[in-house]
A and B are shown apart, each in its own frame.
Chain A
Amino acid sequence: MKIKKFLYSQKAAPYVFVLPFIISFLIFWVYPLCSTFAMSFQNIKPTGIEWIGFKNYSKLLADKVFHTAVLNSFQYMLLSLVLLIPFPMLYAVLMDSRLVKAKGLWKALLYLPALTSVVISGTLFRLMFSEYHTGQMNVLMEMFGLATQKWLKVKATGLGALIVLCCWRWTGVNMLYFLSGLKSIDGSLYEAADIDGASSVQKFRFITVPLLKPTTIYVLTISVYAGLAMFLESFMLWAGNASPNNIGLTIVGYLYRRGIEKNQLGYASAVGLVLLVIALVINVIQLALNGTFKKEEK
């Protein structure tokens, strides 16, 4: 009888449905987050745990390699924002207009890179950016009468290769995000603008961009996170976590090196928490600048 009552209870049902989330949240989110927070104040040795206060953090402040990693991650993130928001937005507007023919084909083609795993795409790009003059990029350089490059051995071209890989993989995906954002814009706004004699540029500037703002904020947020937490792309482009003079080392790459390769869990946890704080601060600033908090009260 009790079981039957339970099955019909509208009070109990929602809790039963969300139970898996609560369990997963506690075991696979709260616990590891707390444990990495605790570990960042510890020195963990096979013989035992030693609490060392803020020593891991003060060591990080003076750690030149960590600074390189932070700088690399920031440069990568900023470049990816500059290239992966305006261009996909323009492509989406073009794609949404009546100008482009065979839309389905182009959408599918631009989405194709997102289907390939990082192992495959990273390897293909590493071999294309090969330093031999027979590698694709150097073939192109020679075609234009330019000097061949040791792409992955120099900071500027190494970062360039990472960015090319990033744009190759995500331009199509971001374009689809913006396309779906465009669908929600009321077409009569453009008609009204036409009657007022607005030019295409004016329509883009005063209707499309402002009304795409929610989509832009979404894409911006995920891009900031993905950019700062980038690791596998660099890992595959240099066929491992070691790149010459750490030109491809990212924050997560450094976390991986310290935590997994060198088994320094405390120090690696500190790296992770610094990354988390950076990501959250940037995200909050970004959302505040865009006035999201005011709107979401509704």
Chain B
Amino acid sequence: MNNEISSLKPGITMKRRVGSVIATAWFAFLGVIVIFPVFAGLLASFRPGTELIRRGLSINLDVSTMTLGNYIYLFSGNADSVKYFNWFKNSMILTLVSVALTLMICFFVAYGLSMYDFKLKNLLFFLVIATMMVPFEILMLPLYQEMISLKLIDTSAGVILPGLCAASTIFFFRQYLITMPKELLDAGRIDGATEYGICIKIMLPITKPAFAAMAILCAMGAWNNMLWPMLVFRSAEKFTLPIGLNTLLTPYGNNYDVLIAGSMFGIIPIFVIFLMFQSYFIDGMTTGAVKG
């Protein structure tokens, strides 16, 4: 609102100010609710895990009963600690490899679908969309059988391969690429580059922002992925962080020290990435929505 006008109409300014305070307060209230469980978990991670079993989880601000015991135990290098950091390492490697491969492959597929006119183009794009119409949960059982017959069960390849051509990632790259001028391709051709050289040397570099956005979204998905890895991995030394943490959930609660401290520590990598690339996150997840 223009300052001159608002000073002439003090009633409106006042109303606006009150509205602003109420709206901001409402989001602050939502923010508190959202942070609440994580905060309670963080506080609990400074107390013995057996308390969680006996008392449930609640906000307990009594500093005198807090210790660093769980974290010291987690980093002590004993058997539990080694186990935990092995899961952590497995998750890191699996996330990095699957994100790198998924992005490259989905980029190439999307490039083919958006930069060329060919017979099967519309059919193939329709099929990409069709794969999104079947929830993964329906395919997990036959896929699991297939992995057994392909001897890919209990391997990282078995976890990664079925997800490499992620329809949503292909879709996102395509939406980004169709806005690119096709003259760039012709320019490359005149310079004598091969079709693949044009793709990698000319088009890929200018698609970087899309890569950044998708990398973060894919990394989030891979780091937190649980259902499929839980089915594929059988040996405990190959477990990723979510599956590993899940194995600590015994009714006896003898592992809750590692569980609560490990859970809180496990949020950190993805949280740091989020804070660093917040704007990419938001672009990445919203592009598909605009066109419906």
What is the interface of chain A, defined by CB distance below 8 A to chain B? 7-11, 13-18, 20-22, 24-25, 27-29, 31-33, 35-36, 39, 91, 94-95, 97-102, 104-121, 123-125, 127-132, 134-136, 138-139, 168, 171-173, 176-177, 179-181, 183-184, 213-215, 217-219, 225, 228-229, 231-232, 236, 239, 252, 255, 259-260, 265, 268-269, 272-273, 275-276, 279-280, 283, 292
B270 to chain A, nearest CB (A): 5
Contact B286 A177 (CB under 8 A): yes
Query: Which residues of A sit under 8 angstroms from B133, Cβ to Cβ?
Result: 279-280, 283
Neighbour of A10 across the interface among B116, B289, B291, CB < 8 A: B116
Partner of B285, one of A11, A129, A177, A215: A177
List chain A residues, Cβ under 8 A from B124: 18, 21-22
Least Cβ distance of A213 to chain B in Å?
8
| Chain B residues positioned under 8 Å from A219 (CB to CB) | 289
Distance from B232 Cβ to chain A, minimum over Cβ atoms (Å): 12
Evaluate contact between A32 and B143: CB separation under 8 angstroms.
Answer: yes
The 0/1 profile, CB within 8 Å of A marked 1, for residues 139-163 of chain B is 1011111100000000000000110
Chain B, residue nearest A127 (CB): B57
Partner of B194 from A7, A94, A106, A232 at Cβ < 8 Å? A7
Give every chain B residue within 8 A of A236 (Cβ-Cβ). Answer: 246
**Which 10 residue pairs of A and B lie closest in terms of their CB atoms, listed nearest first?**
A130-B56, A17-B112, A135-B56, A214-B292, A180-B286, A127-B57, A32-B142, A117-B224, A14-B116, A13-B195
Q: A125-B37, A135-B57, A181-B289 are in contact. Are A118 and B224 (CB under 8 A)?
A: yes
Q: Are B137 and A255 in contact (CB under 8 A)?
A: yes
> Could you list 17 A-B pairs, sorted by A, with CB under 8 Å?
A17-B112, A18-B120, A28-B161, A100-B20, A109-B35, A110-B30, A115-B270, A117-B224, A117-B241, A123-B263, A132-B54, A135-B56, A168-B33, A177-B289, A180-B282, A255-B141, A276-B134
Stretch at the interface among B21-29, B62-70, B76-84: B21-29
Chain A nearest CB: distance from B276 CB in Å? Answer: 12
Docked Cα-Cα span, A132 to B270, in Å, equals: 32
Assembly CA distance A172 to B274 (angstroms): 14
Contacting residues, chain A, for B211 (C-beta < 8 A):
none
In the bound complex, what is the Cα–Cα distance between A231 and B141 (angstroms)?
A: 14
CA distance A179 to B138 in the complex (A): 32
Judge whether A275 and B138 touch: CB under 8 Å: yes
Cross-chain contact B111 with A17 (CB below 8 angstroms): yes
Distance to closest chain A CB from B291 (angstroms): 7
Q: Are A99 and B195 in contact (CB under 8 A)?
A: no
Bound Cα distance from A140 to B33, whole angstroms: 13
Please report the C-alpha to C-alpha distance between residue A255 and residue B62 in the assembled complex, in whole angstroms: 45
- What residues on A are CB-neighbors of B286 within 8 Å? 176-177, 179-180
A31 adjacent to B146 (CB under 8 Å): yes
By a CB distance below 8 angstroms, the chain A residues around B12 are: none
Flag whether B113 is at the interface (Cβ < 8 A).
yes
> Do A7 and B127 touch across chains, with their CB atoms under 8 A apart?
no
* Binding site secondary structure of chain A: helix
Q: B212 within 8 Å of A by Cβ?
A: no
- A9, A120, A260, A265 — most chain B CB neighbours (10 Å): A120
| A99–B135 touching, CB < 8 Å | no
A residues less than 8 Å from B52 (CB atoms): 127
> Which of A108, A110, A168 meets B278, CB within 8 Å?
A108
- Which residues of chain A are near B72, meaning CB under 8 Å? none
A residues in contact with B92, CB < 8 Å:
none
**Is B252 among interface residues, defined by CB-CB distance under 8 A?**
no
Q: Which residues of A contact B99 (CB under 8 A)?
A: none
Determine the residue in chain A with the shortest Cβ distance to B134.
A276
Residues of B within 8 A of A125 (CB): 37
Q: Do B165 and A21 touch (CB < 8 A)?
A: yes
With a cutoff of 8 Å between Cβ atoms, the chain B residues found around residue A110 in the complex are: 27, 30-31, 34
A20 to B101, CA, bound (A): 11
A106-B30, A134-B58, A179-B286 known; A120 and B195 CB under 8 Å? no
Return chain A residues, CB-CB under 8 Å to B48: none
A153 and B129 CA atoms in complex are apart in Å by 40
Q: Is the CB of A115 within 8 A of B267?
A: yes
Q: Could you tell me the distance in whole angstroms from the C-beta of A35 to the nearest C-beta in chain B?
A: 4
Chain B contacts for A8, CB-based, 8 A = 194-195
Complex CA–CA separation, A267 to B169 (angstroms): 33
A35-B145, A36-B142, A120-B263 known; A168+B34 contact, CB < 8 A: yes
Q: How far is the CB of A290 from chain B (nearest CB, A)?
A: 9
Measured CB to CB, the closest approach of chain B to A295, in angstroms, equals 9
Taking A100-B27, A108-B278 as contacts, is the C-beta distance between A128 and B37 under 8 angstroms? yes
Q: Which chain B residues lie closer than 8 Å to A128 at the CB level?
A: 37, 40, 56-58
Query: How far apart are the CA atoms of A101 and B20 in the complex, in Å?
Result: 7
Residues of A within 8 A of B164 (CB): 20, 24
Would you call A29 and B139 a contact (CB within 8 A)? yes
